[in-house]
């Protein structure tokens, strides 16, 4: 199980990286932590001509506060992000989800950008970006653009990223202090991709939900925003929430697969349950409908 | 296919070599440098047998290219014991508790445990046990049923409080 | 604890948790696994494998691959055929499927090796392999057992897809009236998933040809001796020119019982190319192209009287053998060992193996484990149905020590099994009533707790009944330095045999454990044994070292007595010092004695051999039984179907425990695999014959979070062997699955029964039971999948001409028995439609009469006494100068017969 041959380059800047990607004409693949890409290379499921290592680009690392939000450099190691005080303060849902990504050893090498950009539909970080309303910052020699996370993913391991483009940042908007975190994951072993999972945030003010951002993972070809559930929750009074009803609405937006670990019906059935339970427990709704 | 001249230290020894871009760190350590203690058991990052420390941080040597370790300091299982042969506390704990059988997954297990115990130096027994157990989810052992490994974890947690 | 252990030394090593001798090198990265071998001029191999499950190879284009720099050779079967190879089973009988090292014109499963690329590095070999273009004319594959029954022939030259068959459909008619008369009749069906054995080190082989005929082979195996014998036999190599070395092997579990196609191909290619070659199986190959295990479909029906006493049982067992099994297998052991621990008066079965276009069947820890799974889960189901406590149901039926000797319905004698005693010890250690109370309370809160208990016995330490199952030899010596060296044929793939054997030697000889070195893992030392196979090393090698150490101690005493002018009885050896009773000033070190024994023959007793050596080969009783009872407690999450194991207690009787750390390690490892089988592991195939779990992301191995802390009770009833050990290698993997399934079924009992157990019990399948609907899609899959895409096989038209010249006279006849082909001369005399005659084989001649001739068909019966009393029923069809047909051999099933006029 050895990779097919490739050239390796380690650019020192975003500009240089973009130039290499452009010149490669689609034959280049970006490696950051490599925790998902390296298995694909070893199995020869990915056979690029050029591997572009972005670990040497300082500007792609680290967490910074930006206008109205927090920007995470794609080459930031997952383990570093887990211990980051800014993220802990502003994006508790991000930290909760990240704790479920891979294992200690893979988080030590794996990056936020790698997880977000590869778009595994059952992974935590793409869904977290969708749920929290993040934007993906993309650069190429043609210029730069921002893509909302829920428009970024188009299929399993497929995104709108063009072959000459590089993810240069993930910008998560601020949620107000004291917002509530939704997170549930059903996986057979720690570190496995989810059979079904959900992540989200709720802004509550005066007993009323002002804003809801929720996404599923493992429930379709991409991370899936629970739009109907978000709509049902937004503006709802905490005392009047029909958790099972909202959960059904949430599941209505999904399109899960069958595989030998779980059927689509299992994912829908259990998805509705963990959604309802997560709502009840997070909102402390004592009189369950 | 590009080739790259790299320099790195392994267990404190300096090495320079010319490597193919595609060569993983694990394969490089084994094939080029002869550190055969690092075992490649799945080569897709799940089993953990190939875990080494790079600059003190435990990671999969099958999921990293040798060229990416350029300038780094690698610690393999051969580098855990003292030069006089005294076992590292994690090696001793595994031995004391029948924490290995065939020994194929063991090098990675020992490296992870060494890294985690160092990162948690001074922490309480509960925290050390929790951290070690959580990190062990990144290793597959087919022989032991993890019983001895868990006992070794308890010994290490107790020993450092 | 151990009545056999004579008090020879002050230190009681047997029974103590001595640190393992293997650990020093394994913990420091200094082990020597096959991939650690580097030889000058060594080249590397990658296989080109079939992506199609079934079809004809139209072409293999190797031009581009051959032109790659660094590629030394690419071989196909046409090249390897230069060295004749006849693959055999673990039992040294022929493989019946037309297996070749590489595909020979056809492929019969995905992963079938088609070509081998030999290059400077593995990466280059893989590069070239990817350039080899194979065109296959694909055919619809036969994937499941159901497909095999109706589908096309997996091997076109065979009569049907039945690879092996034993038992007798006719016994169903005999058992049915008994079942009809029972107060309670309980049935169950289990579909056991396919398992990938998955030792952490995959298969591996380095072959180094040396000179004209010599060869050294490093191989991942379970016994270098067995591997050497196998390689020599299948290749026709002189055994004395072959050395097999396997110092460290990263797990075997039955997969590495024998070298298989890829390893043998490495050896053949090394001969052809004259260079050292290495092949290291990668994980993708290990999961998809190593032999698999289990994949069974079994139904069991059992009748009980009103008080829950067993009355009769019938079992129908089927096992997917794949295309190229490491031995066609109907798994007769399932039936042999299903009931010896229980008082069951009547049992009948039919058991079959089926060829399919999937990877072949191999062994896996407790290959017959289905007997415990199907019996113990049925017993719990029966307990619920009858309304009796599951422990009480077992008490009424188990064979306790007071019931022995006892012989099972199928003739298996038991004289010292203790499943009932293990159960009592287990039950005494847990508060069942308290658990039941807690269970009731928990259910009120919507929490579902369950408890499962299972009992079993296990045949271990087999010797003398089947070709490779033999005794063990130890060569033991005290060096002139006073240190002890043992040369053994044992092999550890984690078993710690160097440790346990050193403990026995140190104790029996009276030396320090640290002063004993054990050498194993090399066919050049020791003598033939199958190593780790059938839970035998502790029993047999343990007995051999036990006796050899006593013999050597005796020799030391004779020498010491002579030197001290004392009586032999006055001499004791303790801690490496030789003492004379009542004369402490005459104490000598073993080193002093050894120096004299080796270097000063004149000081030895007259006629005594110089040196201090002993050799002993131990032939134990044919079989030694281990017993156990286990208990597991679980909680099932009714919302998600997840199972959490709360507690697990093992109460086992493996006789003398040499090292509790090693014994408990074996049990725990087996239990972890059991948990994997029940909850996680699965190697399913799709309808096109593609394996669906080709990586460890898809094939779920148990992790630390899946396995609880096990608790142990040791009964330690000494066996009949020297030392009193009983085998313990496989038990956890046999008793574990029913224990866990029973606990889950108990937790789910408020919702209903697990009517048909389909493994693994994924969360979705658990929800199926809880909600009474097909959430997992399992039913839809099983009911929809079987008939799809498979054309029915047409009956073969039989040639018509009658037997010209009659059948009278001698015929050379071959009976293909499960133990290998049996050649004999058949003589027939006809008188109208009456037939008589005799069969003559090297073992003797036996007459028969009362046969019938009808057209070209002859039927006759013959009673035989060996190996057991059975009636052979021949049914033969004559066609000119040839004949064919079958012979029904009672419980051993049907054997094919063919012959020609002599």
A270 CB neighbours in chain C (<8 A) are: 639-641, 763, 767
Stretch C610-632: mean pLDDT, rounded? 97
Please give the Cα distance from A1 to B22 (Å, whole number): 11
Structure confidence at residue C10 (pLDDT): 54
Please give the Cα distance from C632 to C655 (Å, whole number): 23
Structure confidence at residue C892 (pLDDT): 67
Stretch B62-82: mean pLDDT, rounded? 98
Task: Provide the number of CB pairs (under 8 Å) joining chain A to chain B.
Answer: 91
Substitution target in C29, C120, C251, C521 with the highest count of B β-carbons within 10 Å is C29
C641 touches chain A (CB under 8 A): yes
Percent of all residues in chain C with a pLDDT value above 70, rounded to a whole number:
95
Please give the Cα distance from A270 to C143 (Å, whole number): 31
The two beta strands, C643-653 and A224-225, are unpaired
Please give the Cα distance from C367 to C352 (Å, whole number): 15
CATH of A58-173, one of 3.30.465.10, 3.60.20.10, 2.160.10.10, 3.40.50.300: 3.30.465.10
Nearest to C23 among B40, B80, B100 (CB): B100
Position C718 pLDDT exceeds 70: yes
Nearest to C707 among B42, B104, B145 (CB): B145
C640 CB neighbours in chain A (<8 A) are: 186, 270, 273-274
> Which residue in B has a C-alpha nearest to residue C712's C-alpha?
B147
The two beta strands, A50-53 and A28-31, are parallel
Q: In sequence order, what DSSP letters do the residues of C169-224 get, joined into one string?
A: THHHHHHHHHHHT-SEEEEEEEEEEEEE---SS--EEEEEEETTTEEEEEE--S-H
Q: Using alpha carbons, select from C470, C489, C463, C474 the residue that is nearest to residue C544.
A: C474
A100 CB neighbours in chain C (<8 A) are: none
C703 touches chain A (CB under 8 A): yes
**Alpha-carbon gap: B43 to the closest alpha carbon of chain A (Å):** 7
Q: Return the number of other C-beta atoms located less than 10 Å from residue C375's C-beta.
A: 26
Q: Tell me whether residues B21 and A51 touch, CB distance under 8 A.
A: yes
C444 touches chain B (CB under 8 A): no
Position C819 pLDDT exceeds 80: no
Substitution target in B22, B47, B117, B153 with the highest count of A β-carbons within 10 Å is B22
Sorting pLDDT into bands at 50, 70 and 90, what band is C798? very low
Structure confidence at residue B122 (pLDDT): 93
Q: In sequence order, what DSSP letters do the residues of C551-608 get, joined into one string?
A: HHHHHHHHHHHHHHT--GGGEEEETTEEEETT-GGG-EEHHHHHHHHHH-GGGSPTTP
Q: Tell me whether residues A7 and B2 touch, CB distance under 8 A.
A: yes
Task: Provide the number of CB pairs (under 8 Å) joining chain B to chain C.
Answer: 172
Please give the Cα distance from C540 to C528 (Å, whole number): 13
CATH of B89-159, one of 1.10.3720.10, 3.30.300.10, 3.30.360.10, 1.10.150.120: 1.10.150.120
**A135 phi/psi in degrees, rounded to 5:** -115, 140
Q: Into which CATH architecture does domain B3-79 fall?
A: Roll (3.10)
Sorting pLDDT into bands at 50, 70 and 90, what band is C788? very low
Cα dihedral: C653, C656, C662, C664 (round 10): 20
Please give the Cα distance from C479 to C511 (Å, whole number): 13
Q: Tell me whether residues A273 and C700 touch, CB distance under 8 A.
A: no
**Alpha-carbon gap: C283 to the closest alpha carbon of chain B (Å):** 5
Position C792 pLDDT exceeds 50: no
Position C801 pLDDT exceeds 50: no
Chains touching B (at least 3 CB pairs under 8 A) are A, C
Nearest to C764 among A3, A5, A263 (CB): A263
Helix (H) or strand (E) holding C670: helix C660-675
Which pLDDT tens digit goes with each residue over B97-142? 999 999 999 999 999 999 999 999 999 999 999 999 999 999 999 9
Percent of all residues in chain C with a pLDDT value above 90, rounded to a whole number:
84
Please give the Cα distance from C568 to A147 (Å, whole number): 93
Nearest to C704 among B37, B142, B146 (CB): B146
Percent of all residues in chain B with a pLDDT value above 70, rounded to a whole number:
98
How many Å separate Cα A203 from the centre of its chain? 20
Q: Return the number of other C-beta atoms located less than 10 Å from residue C41's C-beta.
A: 9
Contact A74, A170 (CB under 8 A): yes
A266 CB neighbours in chain C (<8 A) are: 641, 763-764, 767, 775-776
Contact C293, C361 (CB under 8 A): yes
The two beta strands, C484-488 and C834-841, are unpaired
Contact A99, A204 (CB under 8 A): no
Sorting pLDDT into bands at 50, 70 and 90, what band is C3? very low
Structure confidence at residue C863 (pLDDT): 81
Find the range with the poorest average confidence among A25-34, C202-211, C768-777, C802-811.
Answer: C802-811
Chains touching A (at least 3 CB pairs under 8 A) are B, C
Position C816 pLDDT exceeds 90: no
**Alpha-carbon gap: A144 to the closest alpha carbon of chain C (Å):** 35
Residue A47 corresponds to which tokens in the numbers above? 């056979």
Substitution target in C32, C200, C521 with the highest count of B β-carbons within 10 Å is C200
Q: Using alpha carbons, select from A265, A266, A223, A229 the residue that is nearest to residue A244.
A: A229
Find the range with the poorest average confidence among A169-173, A251-255, B50-54, C212-216.
Answer: C212-216
Topology annotation, domain A180-283: Enolase-like; domain 1 (3.30.390)
Q: Which residues of chain A have pLDDT under 70?
A: 285-289
> Which residue in B has a C-alpha nearest to residue C284's C-alpha?
B42
Q: Tell me whether residues B140 and C282 touch, CB distance under 8 A.
A: no
Please give the Cα distance from C660 to C674 (Å, whole number): 21
Substitution target in B60, B111, B133, B141 with the highest count of A β-carbons within 10 Å is B60
Structure confidence at residue C891 (pLDDT): 65
Sorting pLDDT into bands at 50, 70 and 90, what band is C804? low
Q: Spell out the domains of chain C, with CATH numbers in brackets.
A: 23-30+464-618 (3.30.365.10), 34-139+203-249+256-289 (3.90.1170.50), 292-461+623-785 (3.30.365.10), 809-901 (2.40.128.120)
Stretch B38-56: mean pLDDT, rounded? 98
Structure confidence at residue C471 (pLDDT): 97
Topology annotation, domain A7-56: 3.30.43
A266 touches chain C (CB under 8 A): yes
Which pLDDT tens digit goes with each residue over C829-850? 988 888 989 988 877 788 898 8
Q: Tell me whether residues C695 and B46 touch, CB distance under 8 A.
A: yes
B62 touches chain A (CB under 8 A): yes
**Alpha-carbon gap: C495 to the closest alpha carbon of chain A (Å):** 27
CA distances, C792 to each of C109, C322, C789 (Å): 20, 19, 10
For CA atoms C605, C606, C611, C615, give the dihedral sign.
Answer: negative
Q: Tell me whether residues A8 and B48 touch, CB distance under 8 A.
A: no
Nearest to C282 among B43, B81, B143 (CB): B43
> Which residue in A has a C-alpha nearest to residue B45's C-alpha?
A39
Q: Tell me whether residues B43 and A108 touch, CB distance under 8 A.
A: no
Contact C337, C369 (CB under 8 A): no
A216 touches chain C (CB under 8 A): no
Nearest to C494 among B107, B143, B150 (CB): B143
Position C1 pLDDT exceeds 50: no
B139 touches chain C (CB under 8 A): yes
B119 touches chain A (CB under 8 A): no
> Which residue in A has a C-alpha nearest to residue C685's C-alpha?
A260
Find the range with the poorest average confidence among B64-73, C138-147, C205-214, C753-762.
Answer: C205-214
Structure confidence at residue C797 (pLDDT): 39
How many Å separate Cα A231 from the centre of its chain? 21
Please give the Cα distance from C596 to C602 (Å, whole number): 9
Q: Tell me whether residues A266 and C122 touch, CB distance under 8 A.
A: no
Q: Tell me whether residues C777 and A273 touch, CB distance under 8 A.
A: no
B116 touches chain A (CB under 8 A): yes
Structure confidence at residue A152 (pLDDT): 98
Residues of A near B (Cβ–Cβ under 8 Å) read: 1-10, 34-35, 38-39, 41-43, 51, 53, 55, 79, 102-106, 108-109, 189-191
Chains touching C (at least 3 CB pairs under 8 A) are A, B
Stretch C341-369: mean pLDDT, rounded? 97
Please give the Cα distance from C323 to C360 (Å, whole number): 5
Sequence spans of domains, chain A: 7-56, 58-173, 180-283
Position C5 pLDDT exceeds 50: no
Mean pLDDT of chain C: 93
Structure confidence at residue B68 (pLDDT): 98
Q: In sequence order, what DSSP letters do the residues of C121-173 get, joined into one string?
A: SHHHHHHHHTT-EEEEEE-----SHHHHHHS--SSTTSSSSEEEEEE-THHHH
Sequence spans of domains, chain B: 3-79, 89-159
Interface of C with B in 32-61 (CB under 8 A): 33, 35-36
A103 CB neighbours in chain C (<8 A) are: none
Residue C20 corresponds to which tokens in the numbers above? 């393992």
Q: Tell me whether residues C22 and B103 touch, CB distance under 8 A.
A: yes
B60 CB neighbours in chain A (<8 A) are: 35, 105-106, 109
Please give, one letter per residue, the 3-state secondary structure of C237-299.
CCHHHEEEECCCCCCCCCCCCCCCHHHHHHHHHHHHHCCCEEEECCHHHHHHHCCEEEEEEEE
Position C175 pLDDT exceeds 80: yes
Q: Which residues contact C650 (CB under 8 A, 6 or more apart)?
A: C628, C630, C667, C671, C710, C711, C712, C713, C732, C735
Stretch C344-356: mean pLDDT, rounded? 97
Which pLDDT tens digit goes with each residue over C248-292? 999 999 999 999 999 999 999 999 999 999 999 999 999 999 999
């Amino acid at each position: 199980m050895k990779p097919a041959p490739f050239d390796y380059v380690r650019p020192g800047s975003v500009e240089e990286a973009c130039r290499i990607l452009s010149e490669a004409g689609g034959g280049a693949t970006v490696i950051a932590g490599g925790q998902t890409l390296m298995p694909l290379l070893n199995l020869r499921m990915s056979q690029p001509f050029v591997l572009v290592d972005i670990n040497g680009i300082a500007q792609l690392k680290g967490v910074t506060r930006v206008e109205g939000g927090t920007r995470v450099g794609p080459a930031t190691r997952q383990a570093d992000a887990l211990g980051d005080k800014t993220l802990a303060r502003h994006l508790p849902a991000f930290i909760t989800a990240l704790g479920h990504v891979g294992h200690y050893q893979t988080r030590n090498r794996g990056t936020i950008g790698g997880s977000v950009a590869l778009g595994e539909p059952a992974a935590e970080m793409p869904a977290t970006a969708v749920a929290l309303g993040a934007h993906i910052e993309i650069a190429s020699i043609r210029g730069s653009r921002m893509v909302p996370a829920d428009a970024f993913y188009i299929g399993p391991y497929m995104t709108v990223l063009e072959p000459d483009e590089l993810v240069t940042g993930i910008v998560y908007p601020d949620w107000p202090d004291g917002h509530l975190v939704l997170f549930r994951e059903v996986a057979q072993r720690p570190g496995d991709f989810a059979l079904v999972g959900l992540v989200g945030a709720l802004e509550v003010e005066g007993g009323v939900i002002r804003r809801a951002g929720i996404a599923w993972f493992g429930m379709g070809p991409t991370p899936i925003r629970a739009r109907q559930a978000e709509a049902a929750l937004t503006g709802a009074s905490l005392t009047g929430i029909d958790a099972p009803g909202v959960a059904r609405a949430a599941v209505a937006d999904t399109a899960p697969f069958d595989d030998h670990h779980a059927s689509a019906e299992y994912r829908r059935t259990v998805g509705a349950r963990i959604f309802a339970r997560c709502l009840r427990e997070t909102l402390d709704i004592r009189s369950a409908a | 296919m590009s080739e790259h001249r790299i320099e790195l230290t392994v267990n404190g020894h300096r090495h320079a070599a010319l490597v193919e871009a595609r060569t993983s760190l694990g394969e490089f350590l084994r094939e080029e440098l002869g550190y055969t203690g690092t075992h490649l058991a799945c080569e897709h990052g799940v089993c953990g047998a190939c875990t080494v420390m790079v600059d003190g941080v435990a990671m999969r040597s099958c999921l990293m290219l040798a060229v990416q370790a350029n300038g780094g300091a690698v610690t393999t299982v051969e580098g855990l014991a003292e030069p006089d042969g005294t076992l590292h506390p994690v090696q001793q704990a595994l031995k004391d508790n029948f924490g290995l059988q065939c020994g194929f997954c063991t090098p990675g297990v020992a490296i992870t445990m060494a890294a985690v115990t160092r990162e948690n130096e001074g922490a309480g027994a509960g925290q050390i046990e929790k951290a070690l157990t959580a990190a062990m989810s990144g290793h597959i052992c087919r022989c032991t049923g993890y019983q001895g490994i868990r006992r070794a974890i308890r010994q290490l947690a107790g020993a450092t409080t | 604890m151990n009545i056999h252990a004579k008090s020879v030394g002050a230190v009681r090593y047997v029974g103590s948790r001595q640190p393992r001798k293997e650990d020093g090198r394994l913990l420091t990265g200094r082990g020597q696994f096959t991939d650690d071998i580097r030889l000058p001029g060594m080249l590397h191999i990658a296989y080109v494998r079939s992506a199609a499950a079934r079809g004809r190879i139209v072409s293999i284009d190797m031009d581009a691959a051959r032109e790659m720099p660094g590629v030394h050779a690419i071989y196909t079967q046409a090249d390897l055929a230069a060295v004749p190879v006849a693959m055999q089973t673990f039992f040294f009988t022929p493989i019946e499927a037309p297996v070749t090292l590489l595909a020979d014109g056809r492929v019969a499963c995905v992963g079938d090796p088609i070509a081998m690329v030999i290059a400077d590095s593995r990466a280059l070999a893989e590069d070239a392999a990817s350039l080899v273009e194979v065109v296959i004319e694909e055919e619809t594959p036969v994937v499941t057992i159901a497909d095999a029954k109706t589908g096309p022939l997996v091997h076109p030259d065979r009569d049907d897809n039945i690879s092996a068959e034993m038992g007798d459909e006719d016994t169903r008619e005999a058992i049915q009236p008994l079942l009809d008369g029972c107060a309670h009749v309980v049935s169950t069906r289990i579909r056991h998933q396919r398992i990938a054995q998955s030792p952490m080190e995959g298969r591996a082989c380095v072959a180094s040809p040396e000179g004209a005929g010599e060869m050294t082979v490093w191989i991942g195996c379970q016994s270098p001796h067995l591997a050497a014998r196998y390689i020599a036999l299948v290749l026709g190599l002189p055994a004395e020119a072959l050395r097999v070395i396997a110092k460290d092997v990263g797990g075997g579990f039955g997969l590495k019982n024998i070298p298989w196609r890829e390893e043998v191909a490495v050896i053949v290619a090394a001969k052809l190319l004259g260079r050292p070659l290495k092949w290291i199986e990668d994980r993708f190959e290990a999961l998809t192209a190593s032999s698999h295990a289990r994949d069974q479909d079994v139904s069991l029906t059992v009748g009980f009287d009103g008080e829950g006493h067993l009355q009769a049982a019938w079992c129908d067992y089927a096992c997917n053998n794949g295309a190229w099994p490491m031995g066609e297998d109907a798994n007769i052991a399932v039936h042999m060992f299903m009931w010896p621990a229980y008082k069951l008066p009547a049992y009948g079965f039919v058991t079959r193996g089926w060829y399919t276009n999937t990877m072949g069947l191999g062994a896996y820890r407790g290959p017959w484990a289905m007997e415990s799974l199907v019996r113990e889960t049925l017993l719990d189901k029966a307990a619920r149905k009858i309304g009796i406590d599951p422990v009480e149901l077992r008490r009424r039926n188990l064979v306790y020590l007071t019931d022995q000797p006892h012989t099972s319905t199928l003739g298996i004698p038991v004289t010292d099994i203790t499943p009932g005693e293990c159960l009592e010890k287990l039950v005494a250690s847990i508060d069942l009533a308290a658990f039941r109370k807690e269970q009731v309370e928990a259910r009120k809160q919507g929490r579902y707790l369950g408890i499962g208990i299972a009992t079993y016995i296990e045949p271990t330490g087999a010797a003398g009944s089947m070709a490779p199952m033999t005794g063990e030899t130890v060569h033991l010596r005290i060096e002139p330095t006073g240190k002890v060296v043992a040369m053994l044929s044992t092999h550890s793939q984690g078993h710690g045999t160097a440790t346990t054997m050193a403990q026995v030697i140190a104790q029996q000889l009276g030396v320090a454990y640290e002063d004993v070195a054990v050498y194993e893992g090399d066919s050049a030392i020791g003598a033939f044994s199958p190593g780790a196979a059938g839970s035998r090393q502790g029993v047999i090698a343990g007995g051999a070292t036990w006796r050899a150490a006593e013999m050597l101690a005796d020799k030391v005493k004779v020498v010491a007595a002579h030197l001290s002018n004392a009586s032999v009885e006055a001499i004791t050896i303790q801690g490496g010092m030789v003492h004379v009773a009542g004369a402490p000033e005459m104490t000598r070190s073993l080193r002093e004695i050894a120096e004299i024994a080796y270097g000063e023959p004149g000081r030895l007793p007259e006629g005594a051999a110089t040196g201090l050596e002993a050799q002993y080969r131990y032939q134990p009783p044919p079989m030694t039984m281990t017993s156990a009872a286990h208990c597991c407690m679980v909680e099932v999450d009714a919302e998600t179907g997840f199972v959490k194991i709360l507690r697990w207690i093992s109460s086992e009787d493996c006789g003398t425990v040499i090292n509790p750390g090693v014994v408990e390690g074996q049990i725990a490892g087996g239990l972890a695999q059991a948990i994997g089988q029940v909850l996680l592991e699965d190697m399913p195939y799709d309808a096109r014959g593609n394996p669906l779990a080709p990586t460890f992301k898809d094939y779920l191995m148990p992790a630390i979070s899946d396995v609880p802390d096990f608790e142990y009770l040791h009964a330690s009833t000494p066996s009949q062997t020297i030392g009193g050990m009983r085998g313990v290698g496989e038990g956890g993997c046999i008793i574990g699955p029913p224990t866990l399934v029973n606990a889950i079924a108990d937790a789910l009992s408020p919702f209903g029964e697990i009517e048909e157990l389909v493994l693994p019990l994924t969360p979705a399948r658990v929800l199926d039971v809880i909600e009474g609907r097909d959430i997992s899609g399992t039913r839809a899959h099983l009911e929809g999948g079987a008939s799809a895409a498979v054309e029915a096989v047409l009956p073969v038209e039989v040639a018509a001409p009658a037997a010209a010249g009659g059948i009278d006279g001698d015929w050379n006849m071959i009976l293909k028995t499960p133990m290998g082909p049996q050649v004999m001369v058949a003589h027939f005399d006809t008188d109208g439609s009456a037939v008589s005659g005799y069969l003559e084989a090297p073992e003797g001649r036996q007459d028969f009469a009362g046969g019938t001739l009808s057209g070209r068909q002859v039927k006759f019966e013959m009673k035989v006494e060996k190996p057991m009393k059975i009636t052979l029923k021949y049914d033969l069809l004559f066609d000119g100068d040839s004949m064919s047909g079958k012979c029904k051999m009672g419980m051993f099933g049907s054997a094919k017969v063919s012959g020609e006029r002599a």
